[in-house]
Amino acid sequence: MTTTSAQAVPRAVAVARLEEQWREQRSLRSWFATVDHKRIGRRYLVTAGAFFGLAGIDALLLRTQLARAGGDVLSPDQYNQLFTMHGTAMIFLFATPMLFGFGNALVPLMLGARDMAFPRLNAFGYWVFLFAGLIMFSSQFLGVAPNGGWFAYVPLTDLPYSLGRNLDVYTLGLIFLGVSTTAGAINFIVTSIKLRAPGMSLNRAPLFVWAIVATSFMVLFALPALNAANALLFLDRRFGTHFFQPDAGGNTLLWQHLFWIFGHPDVYIIVLPALGIVSAILPAFCRRGVAAYPLVVLATITIAIISFGVWVHHMFATGLPSLSLSFFSAASVLITIPSGIQVFAWVATMLFGRIVVRVPLLFVVGFIVTFVMGGVTGVMFGITAFDMQITDSYFVVAHFHYVLFGGAVFPIIGGLYYWLPVLTGKMASEVLGRWAFGLVFGGFHLTFFPMHLSGLLGMPRRVYTYPTGLGWDPWNLLSTIGSYVLAVGLLLVVLSVVLAVARGPRAAVDPWGGDTLEWAATTPPRPYNFASIPQVFGLHPAWDRRTLSRLETDEVLPGHQALLTSELDARPQRLVSMPEASLRPLLAALALLVVVLGLLWAVYWLAIAGVVATIVVVVGWLWPPQLTRAEAEAA
């Protein structure tokens, strides 16, 4: 497997040499050029967290406007921009990138690999995400933010009903962002297929990895629908095509189909990795592996597939034939089965294990409660007759916040507390964390539970104001109060993380006793993750004496090398060398940014210049190294 000469070197010397080879200079260039998946993962988390803050402030303003009937904190146009940006940013700029951040930081560690399969592509993906986010948020400060709702239904978003640049920011921004998401997804898939530690056959892959891989496959199939829809809308708006204009033979329902073919899988693209986080956290605090592992894998896979067959339940009121709706209704109702499997697997894990209550577990428990409540209302929306009555009311707002905040944000915060030692080497304060949990959990339910009621009372969503005397006032006031409590709780989360990084105690090695490989590395891990590539013998390698002892004694894999293994059973295949840090990913992302800005401002020579620059950078990036003389002679 490795060269014989390596065995002659004592282990300590080999490790020291490895340290030298992987050390990153503390320079500005190195900061921009790094391809270390842990640093990139942290950047994803911080950037997505910042976008979460901005979109959260949007939400607070919206709730302030709605605190009383006839509120006049915001103008109608401001309100419409804010709710559109809130939704768009939370879905596209917070949830997915945040979870990709966890994936970036953790997947290679959990697999026992040294980095992602394509480290430079990974860096490129981050930069593109950052630039797309900056474009979209800067539009808000310039007052030209998208204002068509996050699903941007035509004809409202098409000419002649939406002039101005607002919707161009939306279409171009999301296509640009899609580049990043697609790159990330391919990277996760290849990493998980090819870089698993020897012995980690499919039946031993961590559930979080299953979730990330399932998500990535969903991205590959779902995102093209969004990109195509946005491209067609951009062409309609900018170049006068007629895809969505009925007068010239187009069709407005086409947008809804295309958007939701992406949109509903996207809900699970957000929720699945979060469920994976839950499955990763539980073993450490229940002192046993997640119950019914094969069933949870089954659930992950089937959710990923069925989620592509439920999109029309967003269109139950469009007047399509009710028979064609029912095929989607059937899938929407029965997709609950795999979700139920996961919930009861977690409950079983807790029932059959020994529980240690720490902050991450609190957030998991809060997640299960909230997610189950969002799940039961989800079943209701799968029923066509009920959906036709309640959709587009505040009940729907309540439902999807239970699913998305409950299903994604609770696990994300739990994961943040759980993996803070891996990410930063520090421990967060338990006391502050418990306060944060209490405020977030209480504030969340105070904000969103009343929305079920205002929805049942007939309050439509996306209204900037409402009249008094319809029974909606008290529930809206409660929601607004709750949103401020929730905001305080979230600020406490941020505070506890900042405090931990600034002056928290250094984390012990494997402080929680987790079962996956990231806890078998040092805390925090070295740039090369593992000096020797781990051997896996079971589902819980970090609890496995065989794996741990061999990590100490196996020979060190020298240099910037990684071990490829076979796809299904993870048999060792061959060594490959990993790329070094490079500025090219950043340059490529900048060139693409020029293309997007050129299109946005309708300065087409700029866009063309950007395309040329992109080609130049990418050609340089991928230029194959010239053969060495020995290789040339061999050839």
Partner 1 sequence: MLSALATVAAAVVAACSTPPTPPAEVPGGDPARGAQLIAELGCGSCHSVPGVRDAHGLVGPPLDHFGRRAYIAGELTNNGANLQRWIRDPQSVEPGTAMPNLGVSEIDARDIAAYLLTLE
Partner 2 sequence: MTGKLFTESTAPEALAAEPAPRSTGWWGMVGFVTTEAALFAVLLGTFFYLRFQHGEPWPPREIERPQLTVPLIMTAVLLPSSLPVVWAERGIRRGQRWRLRLGLAATIVMGLTFLSLQVMEYQTKLREFTFTTDVFGSLFYAITGFHGLHVAVGLLILSWVLAASLRGSFSSHKHERVSLAAIYWHFVDLVWVAILFTVYLSQHL
Partner 3 sequence: MTTIRSTARGRRLGPAFSWFGVVGGAVAWSVHLIAAWAVDELTCGAGRATVAGVPLVAVMWVAVIVPALVTAAALAVSALVWRRESAAARQRADRGYGRTGMLGLVGLGANALFLSIIVAGGAAVLVLPVCQP
Sole binder of partner 3 in the list 3, 75, 203, 468 (CB under 8 A): 203
Sole binder of partner 2 in the list 182, 230, 329, 429 (CB under 8 A): 182
- 323: contact with partner 2 by CB under 8 A: no
The alpha helices in 504-603, defined as continuous H runs, are: 545-553, 584-601
Sole binder of partner 1 in the list 15, 61, 134, 501 (CB under 8 A): 61
Sole binder of partner 3 in the list 9, 186, 193, 298 (CB under 8 A): 298
- 473: contact with partner 1 by CB under 8 A: no
Which one-letter amino acid corresponds to residue 446? L
- 301: contact with partner 3 by CB under 8 A: yes
Residue 68 contact among partner 3, partner 2, partner 1, none, beta carbon within 5 to 8 Å by kind: partner 1
Number of H helices, E strands in the chain: 23, 2
Question: Cis bond leading into 160, ω under 30°?
Answer: yes
Q: What is the DSSP pairing of strand 572-577 with strand 561-565?
A: antiparallel
- 321: contact with partner 1 by CB under 8 A: no
- 561: contact with partner 1 by CB under 8 A: no
Residue 73 contact among partner 1, partner 2, partner 3, none, beta carbon within 5 to 8 Å by kind: partner 1
The secondary element (H helix, E strand) that includes residue 360 is: helix 359-382
Which one-letter amino acid corresponds to residue 267? V
Buried b (16+ CB within 10 A) or exposed e, 149-166: bbbbebbebbeeebeebb
Q: Please report the sign of the dihedral spanned by the C-alpha atoms of residue 40, residue 42, residue 47, residue 49.
A: positive
> What is residue 194's three-state secondary structure?
helix
Q: Supply the DSSP symbol for 506.
A: B
Residues 172-201 that bind partner 3 (CB under 8 A): 201
Rg of the chain's alpha carbons, rounded to an integer? 25
- 305: contact with partner 3 by CB under 8 A: yes
Distances (CA, A) of 100 to 96, 134, 181, 203: 6, 18, 8, 23
Give the residue among 61, 78, 92, 90 at the shortest CA–CA distance from 147.
78
- 72: contact with partner 1 by CB under 8 A: yes
Which one-letter amino acid corresponds to residue 12? A
Nearer to partner 3 (CB atom), residue 63 or residue 204: 204
- 573: contact with partner 3 by CB under 8 A: no
The alpha helices in 287-311, defined as continuous H runs, are: 293-306
- Show the site string, 73-102: x = touches partner 1 by CB under 8 A, - = not: x-----------------------------
- 550: contact with partner 1 by CB under 8 A: no
Selected range binding partner 2 among 31-39, 188-196, 295-303, 549-557, rule: CB under 8 A? 188-196
- Show the site string, 570-589: x = touches partner 2 by CB under 8 A, - = not: -x-x--x-------------
> Residue 621, exposed/middle/buried by CB under 10 A (0-12, 13-18, 19+)?
middle
Nearer to partner 2 (CB atom), residue 46 or residue 568: 568
Q: Minimum distance from CB of 493 to partner 2 (Å)?
A: 35
Sole binder of partner 1 in the list 46, 57, 357, 568 (CB under 8 A): 57
Tokens of 425: 């080497």
Which one-letter amino acid corresponds to residue 275? L
Residue 249 contact among partner 1, partner 3, partner 2, none, beta carbon within 5 to 8 Å by kind: partner 2
- 207: contact with partner 3 by CB under 8 A: no
> What is residue 579's three-state secondary structure?
coil
> What is residue 14's three-state secondary structure?
helix
Selected range binding partner 1 among 65-73, 410-418, 423-431, 493-501, rule: CB under 8 A? 65-73
Give Dmax (Cα) for the chain. 88
Sole binder of partner 3 in the list 282, 331, 485, 578 (CB under 8 A): 331
Residue 12 contact among partner 2, partner 1, partner 3, none, beta carbon within 5 to 8 Å by kind: none
Nearer to partner 3 (CB atom), residue 309 or residue 511: 309
**Contact indicator for 380, 67 with CB cutoff of 8 Å:** no
Q: Report the distance separating Cα 364 and Cα 357, nearest Å.
A: 10
Nearer to partner 1 (CB atom), residue 65 or residue 230: 65
Residues paired with 565 in a beta bridge: 572
Question: Cis bond leading into 579, ω under 30°?
Answer: no
- Under rule CB under 8 A, how many of the chain's residues touch partner 2? 57
Cα dihedral: 616, 617, 621, 626 (round 10): 30
Nearer to partner 3 (CB atom), residue 356 or residue 568: 568
Sole binder of partner 2 in the list 60, 69, 186, 292 (CB under 8 A): 186
Query: DSSP states of 28-79 as a string?
Result: HHHHHH---HHHHHHHHHHHHHHHHHHHHHHHHHHHHHHSSTT--SS-HHHH
Residue ranges in contact with partner 1 by CB under 8 A: 57, 60-61, 64, 67-68, 70, 72-73, 480, 484, 487
User: Residues interacting with partner 2, by CB under 8 A?
Assistant: 117-118, 182, 185-187, 189-190, 193-195, 219-221, 223-225, 227-228, 232, 235, 239-243, 245, 248-251, 253-254, 257-258, 261, 564-569, 571, 573, 576, 615, 619, 622-627, 631-632, 634-635
Residues within the interface to partner 3 (CB under 8 A): 201-203, 293-295, 297-298, 301-302, 305-306, 308-309, 312, 319-324, 326-331, 333-334, 337-338, 538, 568-569
